[in-house]
Chains A and B, each alone.
Chain A
Amino acid sequence: MSGIGPMYPNEKPENPYVLVSYAGHLLGNYSSRLCAGCGYGIIGHIFTRLFEDEKLDPKLYPLVLGIGCYSQMLLTVHYATQKVLSLHGRAPALATGMKMANPQMKPIIFTGDGDCLGIGGNHFIHTCRRNLDCIILIFNNSIYAMTGGQGAPTTLFGAKSTTTPYKMFENRSDGVKLALAAGATYVARTTVAHPRTFMKYFRKALKHKGTSVIELITPCVTYFGRKNLNNLGAEYLGLKGEKMDTAGKMIDWIKRNSIRVNQAKFMNEEELFNKYIIGEFRYAPDQPEYSDEYAKIQKIARGGI
């Protein structure tokens, strides 16, 4: 992180939330160092805005970031947040330790699709099973972007990546279904093309007591968009797609490729293939939360009932 990013003359009136971001606060002017059109810039921006508008107390909402392109969000998130860069895939386990040692905290975990469903799958499953009070944000750009565009557990069938040069032939894993099966009590998926729904879900997750899993479909233009055609989700139509080489085309493709939960009920298997189903999948606010249950155990251990 030696260079903080391209610096251009500061123009007035500046976007108010730039100065709230960490690097903006440090340098007075900042633009994210991510590729043009990357979804993480959008998410970092929205997170900073939410952190500022909700007036969250930085001491109670530590950030645990996994390893990936989104690790650069250390610079774009709110300047007052306390951030830990955990190991690849181990963010949910680190957050469990933090939460249990200081039960007032509610860790916010940034993980990627490879980070959470690939190497960190076991920790993700058990954090959801325990219904620990934390927010797990899974950024699904269906590629290992930081290391150069390798295939990920969530790469779409038939997509090209550096480790699947011919065609991705494996079945893809679904973060939401995994979270539902593991027992997370608030599961939702949205895309970066719907920024306001992500803000709505995030505000709901902040108030929800228990594990809330929000999966976000983000475009990765440089490694996924440029190498794949935009008929990925619509094979059954037999269209001849074109390369999605700009973020606009990818956001357009994401919008076309994401189906609302209720709408998906009326679509058959062939139409739903390679599609993202967005919406809220489960909201069970009154499930027992892990740290409360452990407080009861502590009471029993001290002789109470």
Chain B
Amino acid sequence: MSWFKIPKLLENKEKNFSLFLNKNRCGGCQACVYVCPTGILEMGGELNMRIAYTPRVKEGKGKYCTACKRCEYGCPDWCIYILDESEKENMAKKAKA
């Protein structure tokens, strides 16, 4: 698991977005698990550098994600976030560079 590649939690080809998790900064607070309206996240088993369990997508539930970004808004450490591969006018493109 290389440090410099963010694990992509899920990839939605048609709507062309993917859910990223900055594993090492996650504090393991489970806020995203409970904020997600479709409930597709659950706490994973591995520990990260902050000795906290990080969230992961439940088996086969990846396709139910509607990119509502509640988990992105609800994360206190900016760890979990949705990035659209499609053209996105504001900040996301800059971050890609």
Please, how many angstroms separate the alpha-carbon atoms of A143 and B49 in the complex? 30
**List of A residues within 8 angstroms of B76 by Cβ:** 32, 34, 36-42, 44-45
**List of A residues within 8 angstroms of B33 by Cβ:** 248
Q: Which of B12-44 contact A (CB under 8 A)?
A: 20, 22, 24-25, 27-31, 33-35
Q: Which of A194-222 contact B (CB under 8 A)?
A: 195-196, 199, 221
Q: Which of B71-86 contact A (CB under 8 A)?
A: 72-79, 81, 83
Contact call B22/A32, Cβ cutoff below 8 A: no
With CB as the reference atom, state the residue of chain A lying closest to B31. Answer: A247
Please, how many angstroms separate the alpha-carbon atoms of A9 and B74 in the complex? 23
Please, how many angstroms separate the alpha-carbon atoms of A46 and B74 in the complex? 8
Contact call A20/B22, Cβ cutoff below 8 A: no
Known: A195-B70, A251-B35. A9 touches B4 (CB 8 A): yes
Contact call B24/A14, Cβ cutoff below 8 A: no
**List of A residues within 8 angstroms of B3 by Cβ:** 9, 11
Q: Which of A35-79 contact B (CB under 8 A)?
A: 36-42, 44-46, 49, 52-53
Contact call B78/A251, Cβ cutoff below 8 A: no
The 4 closest A-B pairs by CB, nearest first: A41-B76, A37-B29, A248-B30, A36-B27
Binding site for B on A (CB under 8 A): 6, 8-9, 11-21, 30-32, 34, 36-42, 44-46, 49, 52-53, 192-193, 195-196, 199, 221, 246-249, 251-252, 255
Binding site for A on B (CB under 8 A): 3-6, 20, 22, 24-25, 27-31, 33-35, 49-50, 52, 68-70, 72-79, 81, 83, 90-92, 94-96
